[in-house]
Amino acid sequence: MYPLLDTINSPDQLRALERKQLPELVEQLRAFLIDSVSQTGGHLSSNLGVVELTTALHYVFNTPDDRLVWDVGHQTYPHKILTGRRKAMTQLRKEGGIAGFPRRSESEYDTFGTGHSSTSISAALGMAIAAQRSGSERRAVAIIGDGAMTAGMAFEALNNAGAMDANLLVILNDNDMSISPNVGALQNYLARLLSGRFYDSVRRSGEKVLGVVPPILELAKRAEEHVKGMMTPSTLFEEFGFNYIGPIDGHDLDVLIATLSNIRQLKGPQFLHVVTQKGHGYQPAEDNPGKFHGVGKFDPSNGHAMAGGGSKTYTQVFGEWLVDMAALDERLIGITPAMSDGSGLNEFAEKYPERFFDVGIAEQHALTFAAGLACDGMKPVVAIYSTFLQRAYDQLIHDIALQNLPVVFAIDRAGLVGADGPTHAGSFDISYLRCIPNMVVMTPADENECRQMLYTAFQHDGPAAVRYPRGCGSGVAVVKSMQALTIGRGEIRRKGRKIAILAFGSMLTPAMQAGEKIDATVANMRFVKPLDIALITQLAAEHDLLVTVEENAVMGGAGTAVMEVLQGLGADIPMLCLGLPDRFIEHGTHETMLADCGLNADGIIAAIEKKLT
């Protein structure tokens, strides 16, 4: 089915092909990618956009000796396929299979592990300096998407790299615009000319000669900027100290290979602007690249998703609450760091565009922006994944909590996230939130409780977080009306004997199942901070063993908080704290991952029985 692609198990075999064979390889690679992802799910449109670029990079550069650093990592499926993992794609993102992102432990071609954005330039610069220090001629290449360029970290790295003389190539994969007229034959020709060694040597020689006459050197630089300004979109990257080349057509193999071959011979920091199209070569993905960014299983013949469950997700519950709350309070402002679709803000953005702010991949800015809004009477709601909130921890503490500002954090993807694995897991938010003064931290046990807690957080005059898991809950009906809960008040859901299970958030369901089997009391704690001290005191007095269960790192988590309360009370009662172990949990199905961590009903019972023996 893929006669040429099936012969490629390493970049060495790719580089052994004749140039005229590459278009056929690219065609088969794209077809294989569509067929493979349709069976496993995963990221599609971003990967379709880099098929030619990936092929050209491995054809020109001597990988893995030359380092390719992929930003974010959701554009590395072609890279994985060409580096010996074609057959392993059937197990992509499955338990025991290959990851959906680069992993250093998975392949020598994955030079840097990623999952969060905007790290590639920093990492590649470090590799370039390491090569320089060791006297190596190997090259370092950072491939960064236009979305990742919205983060401050990318510009911090550019600023630092431009001041050095390291052999670093930054490739901007610009897929946020169509291939405009300036990316045509003339522009491609000019890019190849500007990347050539003759032009580079003339430019450098001119700087040396004219350097003794500063006014003339300045005049020459301005003249060059003027000429380049007429045929390139911007001289911004020149100001950072890079030699800017492009933009070029990222789907034209001949131009890519010629330009990359020229650049590989150049010294110093180089910046190549490549224009690609998300979903390129697959019409459904071209028509709706957002929909095909992350997909489940689908029919490759038409792009239609395979039938799935009809339950409402926590993300949908949040999105509906946000729209309803906005209708009641015009002070509400919705903020997201480039996760509008994933966080459920699309309907809000359509109905209240003047109150919706997607700030790009800039989590730090998102939080301080929210703080500024709160200072002047607005009620900001920050919709953010747990794993991405980690990137704005200083702003959370210094700009919001320290000033006790009323900012609501709708924390999606709390706990394990299944196929996306450890880079996207929300394993730590209870631990890192509960230690911050002024914070209120809520853990809804079901969809309706999530809605009521979001309302509670919005009414609270201070920072408040509601953390909820990915996907669907227990299927509880969501009540349209909203009523604020008493902050710091839990509830007993089941009365039992001797053993009390204190469940936080998503763990209430397996706790209830375990409680039924062993006749244990089960409490829905609801709040991590402030804890219901009265309820904890009652449960400690009436039972022989307290068991806490949370979908968060057990170290420093909610269980630890309960232990601190008991210590403060001087209560002498055995305790068992269950949660995520002190290791990164590999990708798989959510159910399997919970079972492996002992966080399903059977695991809870087994841990209790072991404790009692």
How is residue 492 written in tokens?
A: 């007993």
User: Is 94 one of the catalytic residues?
Assistant: no
What gap in Å lies between CA 500 and CA 496, rounded to an integer?
A: 7
CA distance linking residue 280 with residue 48, whole number of Å: 5
- Spot the catalytic one: 238, 363, 550, 551: 363
Question: Considering 80, 355, 391, 434, which one is annotated as catalytic?
Answer: 391
List helix spans (H) across 391-473. Answer: 393-395, 429-434, 447-459
Q: How far apart are CA 170 and CA 269, in angstroms?
A: 8
* Annotated catalytic residue, options 86, 278, 434, 529: 278
Question: Which residues have C-beta within 8 Å of that of residue 202, sequence separation ≥ 6?
Answer: none
> Could you count the other beta carbons within 10 Å of the beta carbon of residue 603?
18
Q: What is the DSSP string of 377-405?
A: T-EEEEEEEHHHHGGGHHHIIIIIITTT-
User: How would DSSP label each residue in 511-551?
Assistant: HHHHHHHHT-EEEE--EEES--HHHHHHHHHH-SEEEEEEE
Helix ranges (H only) for 135-213 are: 152-162, 185-194, 197-210
For residue 481, what are the contacts with CB-CB under 8 A and spacing of at least 6? Answer: none
Please check whether residue 599 is in contact with residue 439, taking contact to mean a CB–CB distance below 8 angstroms: no
Q: How far apart, in whole angstroms, are the C-alpha atoms of residue 33 and residue 458?
A: 44
391 as an active site residue: the answer is: yes
104 a catalytic residue:
no
3-state helix, strand, coil in the chain (%, to 5): 45, 15, 40
> What amino acid positions are annotated as catalytic residues?
278, 363, 391
